[in-house]
Amino acid sequence: MYQEYMTKIKVGEKEYELLLTTRATKEIAGRYGGLENLGDKLMKAENFEMALGEIIWLITLLANQPILIHNLKNKNDTKELLTEEEVELLTSPLDLAEYKDAITDALLKATKRNIESETDLKNPEAG
């Protein structure tokens, strides 16, 4: 159902899918003031450690969304959530640089449809 909105990454030996859900959007808005501020916050992070911390937080948040959906739908077959500690230990700084692109891709995939839908509503076809 959400496959077209997901971007795949690898953390250690395990593959994860990044998904921007309404819940994740709400958490991002609480932390950054909205999706539109996310890029600015990442680029203007005061120091390298802080920038890494933000990327790790985002990866963990977005990678856990499909797991949370799975767990909601499959109460007898729950999967373990990814932790920030796992992301820190099972990745290199080079991986995190690549994940920034994956984060951007996941955000674009999830918000593209909303933008198209809003455009469609504003410009109904004459019939």
Q: Which of 71, 99, 101 is nearest to 84 (CA)?
A: 99
Determine, yes or no, domain membership for 6: no
Contact indicator for 81, 68 with CB cutoff of 8 Å = yes
What spatial distance separates the first Cα and last Cα of the chain, rounded to whole Å?
A: 31
Q: What is the pTM for the complete model shown?
A: 0.79
pLDDT reported for residue 114: 47
Strand partners, 17: 8
Strand partners, 111: none
Ordered mean pLDDT values, 10 residues apiece, the chain (127 residues) = 80 94 92 77 65 89 97 96 96 84 85 54 52
Determine, yes or no, domain membership for 2: no
- Count of structural domains, the chain: 1
Full residue range of the structural domain in which residue 74 is found: 15-119
Determine, yes or no, domain membership for 7: no
